[in-house]
Amino acid sequence: MEQRTTRPQFVLFGSSMVQHSYYEGWGATLCHLYARKADIVLRGYSAWNSTRALQIVDKILPKNTISMQSQPTLVIVYFGGNDSTRLRQSGKGPHVPLEEYKENMRKIAIHIKSLSENIRILFLSTPPVNEEQIEHNSDEFGQPLRTNEACRIYSEACLEMCREENIKAIDMWSLIQTRDDWKDVCFIDGVHLSIEGSKMVSDEILKVLKEAEWQPSLYWRKMPVEFGEDSPYDPVLPDGVTTINVSNIPFPLHVEWDKADVSNE
């Protein structure tokens, strides 16, 4: 019996920045570019923090699979924005103390590493927020629940953990603020990314995947296309004879899908 084809699997694991990433976002861009190259699996949980994520990571990414080959090829992880919110007097809410957050993220990373020696990992650190744009951003004492300074501190903790564990990471806090007008264009509501903000994220993810010394490469331009062979059923050019293989041509043609795109070099 002919075996079915299998594609590499990329898992996006995180809170609302992951769950909502298909809403004109960076997750949708990855899904589009890898449509015939990898299966993008969305595992986003709005409002979650790293503590809750750690409690279920072995259910999202279990060790007891049929074989190591069924494990994901790449896992992209994001938690931190909710962890960095102010601690409520009641103790309820998503806040996680800084050192606990860092160790949660380390344990998540160690679990993912344990799944397979071939698994690739990319962490996204906490992005900035536009405090002025966030509605209802204060606790019962009038103190801000989310601040850009807290996001910076948690971003640095995530990046420090990644350096210690030799894991690739994107400094989201710095990345978004490279635009002078980031407060005006990068958010929908001061927290969640707009189309412009998401484009910066997808560009940076693709840049990391292109530059990573991983074999085989996980950059979309360098990965094989499923059923990409020439066929007599391919579209025919106006000469009525010449066929064109469109299996590896991104749609639409006029869009610059990522800054690392080799076709633009």
Q: How far apart are CA 227 and CA 249, in angstroms?
A: 13
Delineate the domains of the chain, giving CATH numbers in brackets: 9-230 (3.40.50.1110)
Catalytic residue among 192, 202, 203, 261: 192
pLDDT per position as a tens digit, 36-47: 999 999 999 999
Out of 189, 230, 231, 247, pick the active-site residue.
Answer: 189
pLDDT, the chain, mean: 92
Question: Using one digit for the tens of pLDDT, what is the confidence trace for 1-15?
Answer: 344 458 999 999 999
Q: Do 86 and 132 form a contact (C-beta atoms < 8 A)?
A: no
Residue 189 is a catalytic residue:
yes
Q: Where are the beta strands (DSSP E) in the chain?
A: 9-14, 39-44, 74-78, 120-124, 168-170
pLDDT tens profile 95-114? 999 999 999 999 999 999 99
Strand partners, 76: 12, 122
Q: Are 21 and 198 in contact (CB under 8 A)?
A: yes
67 pLDDT above the threshold of 80: no
Q: What percent of the chain has pLDDT over 70?
A: 95
- Catalytic annotation, pick one of 15, 125, 155, 202: 15
**Mean pLDDT score, 79-105:** 95
DSSP per position, 107-163:
HHHHHHHHH-TT-EEEEE-PPP--GGG-TT---TTS--S--HHHHHHHHHHHHHHHH
pTM comes to 0.93
Q: Is 124 helix (H, G, I), strand (E, B) or coil?
A: strand
pLDDT at 85 over 80: yes
**pLDDT tens sequence across 166-216:** 999 999 999 999 999 999 999 999 999 999 999 999 999 999 999 999 999
Amino acid, single-letter form, for residue 68: M
pLDDT at 91: 86
* pLDDT over threshold 50, residue 28: yes
